[in-house]
Structure 1
Amino acid sequence: MLDILIIGAGPIGLACGLAAKKAGFTFEIVEKGCLVNSLYNYPSTMIFFSTSERLEIGGVPFVSVNKQPNRNEALEYYRRVALDNKLPIRLFEEVLAVSAIDGGYLIKSSKKTYEAKKVILSTGFYDIAVNLDIPGEDLPKVKHYYKDPHYYAMQNVIVVGSSNSAIDVALETFRKGANVSLIVRGNEISQRVKYWVRPDILNRIKEGSIKAYFNSNLKEIREHEADIDTPEGVVTIPNDFVMAMTGYKPNFKFLAKLGINLTADKYIPQYNPETMETNVPGLYLAGVVVGGLDTHLWFIENSRIHAEMIINDIAAKSISE
């Protein structure tokens, strides 16, 4: 039986692995996608808000040529951390069920079965998009994920949202020749937009290069056009692609299936903020998954400490057991 089974090989899952290795525990890391799967699926042009030192895990230096590292540098860094430390990682293996057994847990994955005394869940929130729940959202032209702006050159593109992802998509596709319409539910661009990007989008809107509809919602999507519900009434515009940058959420069904209590409003899981242990004894949460629907509160830089908190608690409990 393993001491620890870590679900998720993102930056925080890797940090948990490094801490577990340092403490001398036996462990495995199981990941349903590729290494740091969420980061891999970030836009190819993505630049982090955080500086490189705030993205470091396990005391391993992250050297970047820029103040804020980009996606490719982050992939290189976390891959090197995993390889150099010989972390036992099982990729493309989805955990399907976790059940209590005498002395720990039985974990069934898509490939094998594990037994572990403790389980750390570090699954992030990037795999499940928040839907618009409007007619036409299931059309192939509607995208909740974005990779590269060139694909949208010379197309009529609607971008939904006002935070970093939406603004990056709007600006990048505009600069590759797309005709961009930005739909914002509130009356302004989010204050959380990166400080060096916000003036850019405000100026593009002011000059009319990007048409912004404030206090508005996308009402219906059709094959070649879309309806926007604005304060002045419904506006219909030509449309080739809809980039619904409406955010993402953790797999709440999986959390509930494990027996973790969730709040009724924002689905925030129950856990001890000093140890990260949930209401299920021996089951811990690490990283942004702890935020429920408040996904904007947790990042790599402020959740990497969860690794040490969890491993310290497991070590203390191991001594007392």
Structure 2
Amino acid sequence: MQQYDLIIIGGGPIGLACGLEAQQAGLNYVIIEKGCLVNSLYNYPSNMTFFSTSERLEIGNVPFVSNNAKPTRSEALEYYRRVAIHRKLNIQLFETVEEIKAVEGAENILYEVATSKKNYQANHIIIATGFYDIPYLMNVEGENLPKVTHYYEEPHFYALQKVAVVGANNSAVDAALETWRKGAEVTMIIRQNEIGSRVKYWAKPDIENRIKEGSIKAYFESEVAAIRPFEIDIKTPEGIVTIENDYVIAMTGYQPNLDFLRKIGVTLSADEVMKPTYSEESQETNLPNVYLAGVICGGMNTHSLFIENSRVHATKIIQKITGKTLENLYA
């Protein structure tokens, strides 16, 4: 069984940042990721542009140079891949962590980590698993049909098709605009009475104008009631509306795997946010030597933390583990 000072669960930007700090501190560490490198970013829409500027996405004091101030998904994938390879980070990909448990009777705090491939032991654990893996389901008839997806990749596939886009935030707006521009007949289904307030400032007037002119049909204060192979039912304020439909792109949002935290013994708040218990100074949870980093710290409030404002978690955690004051690269 391999033993480490530190196991980092999650190979996204924050997990990589933790690995860089651990490497710099001389810790024996491994990063375990259930998918590909920066798996969440890989699953972002192909043409996505970040809201943050490139310098705010940097990790480990490695410059991120992009063609424009706000980098694209492909530029981010290239950047994080080069960082991982150039810094020779110790990463195990396509390996799922299934269980974490304390080793009874160990002289010092020790955890056993069981994955889909092997078992490890470590004195410290960082969980940096993000929130992009579990979509919110609509829980309607037909949601499991092949025509329904909760992940949007690129628009060409939907050319000349009747497409329903569910949602009103950035992912939904990007999907609606891009598929419409590739020749799809687009209908948006929105639970609120307007486009989301967090939509990127350059996309919000675009989608509002397309809806206003009628190029994209939008049903506000509405939701999908049922999905069938060639049509869908929409519950609107005026009653059920049935429209022809070829594909449903359900951009209904995603949630962190809080059940995993609960399973290993991390305490969650009793309200609907279910925020995990951890120290703001060290990121340590109620479990000794188990830390949280990144967006998972916010529980169900997934819009409070981003790459740019959670990179500092890596510094705080490694400071706690080593007992040494480290330079804060992200101040």
TM-score range, shorter chain: over 0.9
**1:139-158 matches, cutoff 5 A:** 139-158=145-164
Deviation at 1:73, TM superposition (A): 0.6
SS for the counterpart of 1:273 is: coil
Q: Which of 75, 80, 97 is the matching residue for 2:82? A: 80
- Letter of the 1:297 counterpart: S
Matched, 1:275 2:274: no
Residue in 2 aligned with 1:235? 241
Residue in 1 aligned with 2:327? none
Q: Which of 66, 70, 73 is the matching residue for 2:72? A: 70
Name structure 1 gaps, 5 residues minimum: none
**1:109-258 matches, cutoff 5 A:** 109-258=115-264
Residue in 2 aligned with 1:43? 45
TM-score (structure 2 length as normaliser): 0.94
TM-score (structure 1 length as normaliser): 0.97
1:173-213 C-alpha deviation (Å, 9 max, x unpaired): 00011110101111110110000110100100010000011
Residue in 1 aligned with 2:328? none
**1:284-299 matches, cutoff 5 A:** 284-299=291-306
Distance 1:29 1:80 in 2: 16
Distance 1:272 1:135 in 2: 43
Q: Which moved more, 1:211-220 or 1:257-266?
A: 257-266
SS for the counterpart of 1:203 is: helix
**1:23-38 matches, cutoff 5 A:** 23-38=25-40
Distance 1:48 1:294 in 2: 20
Residue in 2 aligned with 1:316? 323
Deviation at 1:263, TM superposition (A): 2.1
Deviation at 1:157, TM superposition (A): 0.6
Deviation at 1:268, TM superposition (A): 1.5
Distance 2:161 2:300 in 1: 32
SS for the counterpart of 1:21 is: helix
Distance 2:299 2:226 in 1: 28
Distance 2:6 2:140 in 1: 43
SS for the counterpart of 1:279 is: coil
Deviation at 1:118, TM superposition (A): 0.3
Distance 1:293 1:136 in 2: 26
1:67-103 C-alpha deviation (Å, 9 max, x unpaired): 1100111011001111111111111111111110123
Moved over 3 A (4+): none
SS for the counterpart of 1:256 is: helix
- Letter of the 2:13 counterpart: P
SS for the counterpart of 2:308 is: helix
Distance 1:248 1:146 in 2: 13
Residue in 2 aligned with 1:266? 273
Distance 2:164 2:117 in 1: 41
Distance 1:292 1:270 in 2: 10
Distance 1:76 1:244 in 2: 28
Distance 2:204 2:139 in 1: 28
- Letter of the 1:160 counterpart: V
Distance 1:71 1:127 in 2: 17
CA RMSD of aligned residues (A): 1.0
Distance 1:11 1:3 in 2: 21
1:8-63 C-alpha deviation (Å, 9 max, x unpaired): 11000000000111111110111111111111111111111110000000111000
